[in-house]
């Protein structure tokens, strides 16, 4: 699946991932390939990206690597998953 993480200033990540886990307002949830379409508000937490993630050098310091994931902390936002593409608009 394709994941894009976008802030008001810059696109932080755009690329192929195995799956992504996000902090939804009703709890954390994960999306894999061919997930049903969804739109959800996000709350304070961490976006966990699973797979081989290659980050641009100018934004790499905003992400942390851990237990097979690449994480990005957010204070809120929105996610839309449709046609095997997830777009996160993050605060």
Residue span of the structural domain in which 75 resides: 2-90
Q: What are phi and psi of 61, to 5 degrees?
A: -70, -10
- Give the tens place of pLDDT for each residue, 75-84: 999 999 999 9
Q: Kindly report the pTM of this predicted structure.
A: 0.92
- What is the reported pLDDT for 55? 92
Strands (DSSP E) contained in the chain are: 2-6, 11-16, 19-24, 27-32, 38-42, 45-50, 63-66, 69-74, 77-82, 85-90
Domains identified in the chain, total number: 1
* pLDDT score, position 66: 82
Residue 67: which CATH number?
2.60.15.10
Residue 44: pLDDT above 90? yes
User: Which pLDDT belongs to residue 91?
Assistant: 85
* pLDDT for residue 81: 96
- Give the residues across from 72 on adjacent strands: 47, 63
* Whether residue 4 has pLDDT greater than 90: yes
Half-sphere exposure of 78 (CA within 13 A, CB side): 5
């Amino acid at each position: 699946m394709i994941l894009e993480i976008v802030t008001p200033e810059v696109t932080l990540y755009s690329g192929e991932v195995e799956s992504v886990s996000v902090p939804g307002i009703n709890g954390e949830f994960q999306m894999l390939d061919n997930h049903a379409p969804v739109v959800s508000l996000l709350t304070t937490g961490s976006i966990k990206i699973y797979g081989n993630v290659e980050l641009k050098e100018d934004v790499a310091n905003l992400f942390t690597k851990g237990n097979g994931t690449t994480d990005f902390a957010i204070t809120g936002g929105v996610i839309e998953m449709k046609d095997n593409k997830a777009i996160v608009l993050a605060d």
